[in-house]
Amino acid sequence: MSADTHARDEFTALVERHRKIVFKVANTYCWSADDRADLAQDILAQLWRAYPGYDRGRPFATWMYRIALNVAISWVRSSGRRQRLTVPLDAEQHDAASPPDAAADERVQALYQVIHALDPLSRALLLLYLDEHSYRDIAAILGITETNVATKIGRLKQRIKQDIGHLA
């Protein structure tokens, strides 16, 4: 087995174990299935490209989150896609959500409403928080202090309370 095939197999196994990260990031930054698939492919390709530089002494998930979020944020910031993301909320655009019951539907709508209103960096913070990462992990992935993470999450909670605390 060649070194390249070995690296590819090793990489595939690691990505498979953490593949949800790719889908979660794609879901946070894209509304339509086509865009999500496009971004997921970009992330996977970028991960493979960066893999030779991966330091095996560090957690793979942290490395993967950093790359995935960077690809996604740059993707959103490219002007054309930014335009597409600023269209008003529309159920048809959010084809990820086809929840089986009304309460779940309401929660998903509220979730999209919150995500949609945030800037790209705050979206990354919310994604990591919803995924129940510790403040230390969030700080390591984003490159800000734990105190800053705590402050921002506190603000996000307040904002969510105000914005969707009581959906009517």
Partner 1 sequence: MTDMPMDIDDLKLAWQGLDRRLERQNALAFQHFKDGRVRKARSRLRPLYWGQMLQILIGVLVVAASASVWTSHWQLLHLRLAGFVVHVYGVLLIIAGGRTLGFVSRIDDAAPVVAIQRQLAELRRWYVLTGMTIGLSWWLLWMPFMMVLAVRLAGVDIYVRAPAVFSLGTAIGVTGLLVTWGLHRWSRRPRWAWLALDMEDAMTGASLRRAQAVIEEIRQFEDDDTVHALEPPTA
Residue 6 binds partner 1, judged by CB under 8 A? no
- Say which residue the tokens 């993967």 belong to: 64
Which residues in 10-49 contact partner 1 (CB under 8 A)? 12, 15-16, 19-20, 22-24, 26-27, 33, 36-37, 40-42, 44-46, 48-49
Which residues in 114-143 contact partner 1 (CB under 8 A)? 114, 119-122, 124, 129-135, 137, 140-143
Which residues in 50-109 contact partner 1 (CB under 8 A)? 50, 53-54, 63, 66-67, 69-71, 73-74, 77, 79, 96-99, 102-104, 106-109
Among 110, 116, 117, 118, contact with partner 1 (rule: CB under 8 A): 110
Total residues contacting partner 1 by CB under 8 A comes to 85
Token output for 54 = 């991966």
Nearest to 16, CA basis, from 48, 52, 38: 48
Rounded-to-integer distance, Cα 60 and Cα 65, Å: 9
Minimum distance from residue 89 beta carbon to partner 1 (Å): 13
At residue 140's C-alpha, the angle toward residues 113 and 128, to 5°, is 25
Q: Give the Å distances, CA to CA, from 74 to 68, 69, 101, 126.
A: 10, 8, 35, 17
Contacts 24+ apart (CB under 8 A), 46-52: 46/71, 47/11, 47/15, 47/22, 48/11, 51/7, 51/11, 52/7
For partner 1, the closer of residues 60 and 87 by Cβ is: 60
Minimum distance from residue 81 beta carbon to partner 1 (Å): 13
Minimum distance from residue 88 beta carbon to partner 1 (Å): 17
